[in-house]
Structure 1
Amino acid sequence: MYLGIDVHKRDAQVAVIDEAGEIVEEVRVANANLDDLAQRYAGAEAVIEATTNYYHIHDMLSEHLDVTVAHPGKLSLIANADKKTDRVDAKELARMGRLNSVPESYVPTDEIREARALVRGRQKLVENRTDYANKIHGLLSEHGITQEIKPLSVSGRESLRDLSLPTPWDSLLESYLEVIETLTEEIETLTEEIESLEETIEERAGSLEETQLLMTIPGVSYYSALMIYGEVGEIERFDRDKEVVSYAGLNPVIRKSGDSRIEGGISKRGSRQLRWILVQCARTAVHTCKDAYLKRFYDRLAGKKGSQKAIVATARKLLVSIFHMLNREEVYDPPGVSA
């Protein structure tokens, strides 16, 4: 039997087909009851899509079924269906399973899931806080205030509260400051909770061979090493550096027409978190650590294409180095890295 399971937030549409491709059962099931269905068809093959809540459902179904997770971006047959409904999606997933034509998605290990949860949670809070700092900068600019004030520092927030702005901008400024302080407290609380479990991000990073290797790169700290590890996963699943670059969405989009070849921007069809942290690490390596290998590459490109394109290309070059480091189990050694 082959099960196609179209998972939603609270329930799932299930289609079951036999070896001949005939429909055996179509049913709508609450996600909480999928375990009972899996037991009825124990030993069968099942296909689910990589949705936001698929980890839990994958683990639950895997107790009884042979589960394959389909990559949502590559399910062209479903995405292009003329009549797209949950029933159609479920049947297509089951059919793909029967034909062994499922575009598979990576299912991370428990350890990697934990690493992702830690760093993604902290990153989201930091990003939200930065958004409100930018709102404050915009508000000050509107009122011609050009002095450099840092809303993320305690002294900066004190200076901002001493400013005299007209109504209602004074209220907006105070609201933004309160949000920043609340988010700062949440970031600190999250860190304290992790520390109380003796699993600070720093300790976790130091306990993993992969992150120890990554931290030999100038510009890569405990947090960034753990985030890269969590997003990349097992390096063995990539055969070439081009595959991990594509996974990160840092591969350039190339368009060919006749004899012409046009290289556009990056595809962005991968992990947003991985792209983000690689760019941050590249900036630090180039501008703060002055790493000769990456800075020389950045400087040469910045003069031709500008700083933004150059730093993205540097992040891509950094990822290529990371691939070879993890694949060979070697520390950062630019002369020995294939670019």
Structure 2
Amino acid sequence: MFIGIDVHKRYSQIAVLDKNGEIVEEVRVENANLDDFAQRYAGSKAALEATSNYYHIHDTLSEYLDVTVANPGELKLISDSDKKTDRVDAKQLARMVRLGSVPESYVPTDEVRQARALVRGRQKLVENRTEYANKIHGLLSDHGITREVKPLSVEGREFLAELSLPAPWDALLESYLELIQVLTEQIESLEAEIEERAGSLKETQLLMTIPGVSYFTALTIYAELGEINRFDRAKEVVSYVGLNPIIRESGDSRFEGSISKRGSGRVRWLLVQASYTAVHTCEDEYLSRFYNRLARKKNSKTAIVATARKLLVSMYHMLDREEVYDPPGVSA
């Protein structure tokens, strides 16, 4: 049988086709009961779309079914459908399974999932803390306080703790400061776990031999790329991260525009920051030589993005060959 599964938060809409493409069953199943359904069709091929909660569902179904996770960005048959419903989506997926045309998405290993949970969890906490810091800036501005204060610094919080505001803004300020303190403690606790995790993995240990690459950057790169052997060449990794230039061709003309910016913006930002550190702080000979040559021809922004791309290519080869950072023409 060929099974298409349209996954939602609490339930899944399922379509089952036979080898002739005829509908055998259409049913809505609570996600908690998917294992019972999978047992009935054990050995069949199935596909589900990569959604926010697909890990658990994939693992549950994989005990009985040959499951492919579909890349949502490439599901043209579904996204371009004039009539888009749960039943239509499930049937389209089932038809794609039968035709062997499901655009497959990467399913991370448990180790990669754990790394992703750590770095993404820290990122969310940092974003929440920044939100409360911005609320404090708003309070100060509303009361005509123009002094530059950094609520995330110890000195800034000490100044704010002594600040006298009228009610109810005094209570709000106190609440925001308490939340920032709690979030800071949680972030520090996660950072300790991230550092320990980065130190235990061979992939992140290799990445940390690069000047300017911290344990957090290394674990984030590892978590977002996943198993390096799923990429056949460096160009695929560059495209996956979105550092590849958009190329337009017309007749005999060929123009390279800005980068595609597909994939994780966080990874691109970290690669750029690591490149800045390598060039301007660590004075890494390999990357500095490349950056300076390009900066003279173009501009610093273009040069640092290109340097980040070169750094990513180096990371790919290091992970692929299981080698420490030792660029050509430079004594590591």
Instruction: Identify which of 298, 313, 323 aligns with 1:320.
Output: 313
Instruction: Identify which of 206, 210, 213 aligns with 1:213.
Output: 206
CA drift of 1:328 comes to 1.5
Aligned equivalents of 2:296, 2:150: Cα separation in 1 = 30
Which residue in the other structure is 2:243 paired with?
A: 250
Which residue in the other structure is 1:120 paired with?
A: 120
CA drift of 1:214 comes to 0.4
CA drift of 1:273 comes to 3.5
Q: Deviations over 1:39-97 (max 9, x none)?
A: 00000000011111111000000000000011111111111111111111111111111
Amino acid aligned to 2:210: I
Aligned equivalents of 1:62, 1:320: Cα separation in 2 = 34
CA pair 151-302 structure 1, distance change in 2 beyond 3 A: farther
Q: Deviations over 1:103-139 (max 9, x none)?
A: 1000111111111111111122123323444555677
Matched residue of 1:284: which SS?
Answer: helix
Answer whether contact 1:12 1:31 (CA < 8 A) is retained. yes
Which residue in the other structure is 2:289 paired with?
A: 296
Question: Could you tell which deviates more after superposition, 7-16 or 205-214?
Answer: 205-214
Give the percent of matched residue pairs that are identical in Structure 1 and Structure 2: 75
Answer whether contact 1:7 1:49 (CA < 8 A) is retained. yes
Write out aligned runs for 1:1-339 (5 A): 1-134=1-134, 136=136, 145=146, 147=148, 149-162=149-162, 176-190=176-190, 200-302=193-295, 306-335=299-328
CA pair 151-301 structure 1, distance change in 2 beyond 3 A: farther
CA pair 309-140 structure 1, distance change in 2 beyond 3 A: farther
TM-score (norm 2): 0.89
Answer whether contact 1:231 1:273 (CA < 8 A) is retained. no
Aligned equivalents of 2:232, 2:329: Cα separation in 1 = 19
CA drift of 1:202 comes to 2.1
Answer whether contact 1:120 1:273 (CA < 8 A) is retained. no
CA pair 323-263 structure 1, distance change in 2 beyond 3 A: same
CA drift of 1:242 comes to 0.9
CA pair 90-255 structure 1, distance change in 2 beyond 3 A: same
Answer whether contact 2:14 2:26 (CA < 8 A) is retained. yes
CA pair 139-308 structure 1, distance change in 2 beyond 3 A: farther
Answer whether contact 1:213 1:332 (CA < 8 A) is retained. yes
CA pair 141-303 structure 1, distance change in 2 beyond 3 A: farther
Aligned equivalents of 2:320, 2:223: Cα separation in 1 = 16
Answer whether contact 2:231 2:237 (CA < 8 A) is retained. yes
Matched residue of 1:126: which SS?
Answer: helix
Aligned equivalents of 2:246, 2:11: Cα separation in 1 = 37
Answer whether contact 2:46 2:67 (CA < 8 A) is retained. yes
CA pair 335-8 structure 1, distance change in 2 beyond 3 A: same
Q: Deviations over 1:159-204 (max 9, x none)?
A: 344557789877765554343223113224545xxx7xxxx32222
Q: Deviations over 1:211-264 (max 9, x none)?
A: 111010011122221111111111111111110011112222223334443333
Amino acid aligned to 2:119: V
* Structure 1 portions without partners, runs of 5+: none
Aligned equivalents of 1:164, 1:263: Cα separation in 2 = 56
CA drift of 1:208 comes to 1.5
CA pair 287-172 structure 1, distance change in 2 beyond 3 A: farther
Amino acid aligned to 1:241: A
Matched residue of 1:335: which SS?
Answer: coil
Question: Could you tell which deviates more after superposition, 23-32 or 261-270?
Answer: 261-270
CA pair 253-139 structure 1, distance change in 2 beyond 3 A: farther
CA pair 331-188 structure 1, distance change in 2 beyond 3 A: closer
* Structure 2 portions without partners, runs of 5+: none
Answer whether contact 1:164 1:170 (CA < 8 A) is retained. yes
Aligned equivalents of 1:296, 1:150: Cα separation in 2 = 36
